Amino acid sequence: MTVRYLLFRVDDRLLHGQVTLGWGSRLRPRAYLLADDRLAADPAAAALYESAVPEGVAVVILSVNALLAALDDPSARARLPRTEESILLVRTLADGVTLLRAGVSGPLVLGGLHFRDGAREVLPYAFLSAADAELIEALAREGRELVAHDLPGNERVGSEKLRDAVRRVFGRIGTDAA
């Protein structure tokens, strides 16, 4: 299974102004696909997110496992928005890595992970935990592409540069285990 989305983005706020206005006005998606366990389990919250997009654009919300199952099942996949017209959003780096390893095409774009307790600043819009840093090292070992890019008009930080930035903050993590 290999599927490619217009944009495959990690953002702890999922669907907000940078996505709908910044990327939305550039990529003109017909749908936003939100793979998030918490939102999928909360229909009232999901309904709010459905109201946050421009008119005529669809929002589909499902859990990460439900998306994985749908992508493996042709009939279920046919009911999802066309991948080449959709933006896929996940809330955590771990969810993004799960989907990446399951066959969703990269690059996985780190768009916004904001400050919370225990996280350290790697980029102004990317505050990462030690677990996130380990995942980034693991992705590099697996040869999967992870970049950082908050908005289309801003600098895109490539895999190598991002890993260097992570190492400057966290040191070298688990590289010998490769």
Partner 1 sequence: MTALLLVFVALLALGALVSLDERVFGPLRLQQPLVAATVAGALVGDARAGLLAGLVLTALWPALIPSGGNLLPSIGLGAVTAGAVAAAGGRVFTDAPGFLGSGRALALAVALAWLVALAGRETEAWLRRRNEEREARAFAALIGGDAALDRAVRHAAIDALLRGWLLVAAAACAAGILLRAFSEGGPVGASRWDLLGHALVLGALGGALVDWAPRVGRVLSRVTNVAPVSGSPLGPLAVVSQGRPRASQARLLCLDALYNPRGQQRGGIYRALAPSLSAPAREEARQFLAARSFQTHASLSGYVLGPVASAAEARTGEALEVAQALHAPVVSGVGDRLFAGAVHPALAWAGATIGLIALSLFHASAPNSGLLSLTLAAPAVVCVAGAGIAGRYWRGRSWRVGVGGEANVAAELRTRPWARWTRGADLVAALAGAVAFAVVAWNLTEFGGTLEIAFLTLGGAAGALAVRAGLGPLAQAGLVGGAVLTAAVLVAIGGGGGPWSSGR
Give contact residues for partner 1 (rule: CB under 8 A): 13-22, 25-26, 44-45, 47-49, 51-55, 112, 114-117, 121, 124-125, 127, 150-156
Distance, in Å, from the CA atom of 18 to the CA atom of 152, rounded to the nearest integer, reads: 9
| Residue nearer to partner 1 on the CB measure, 65 or 154 | 154
In angstroms, what is the minimal distance from the CB of 146 to partner 1?
18
How far is Cα 24 from Cα 87, in angstroms, rounded to an integer?
Answer: 9
Cβ of residue 90: shortest distance to partner 1, in angstroms?
14
Q: Are 151 and 158 in contact (CB under 8 A)?
A: no
36 vs 137, beta carbon nearer partner 1: 36
* Minimum distance of partner 1 from residue 177's CB (angstroms): 32
**Of 42 and 85, CB closest to partner 1:** 42
Q: Shortest distance, CB of residue 52 to partner 1, whole angstroms?
A: 4
Sequence length of the chain is 178
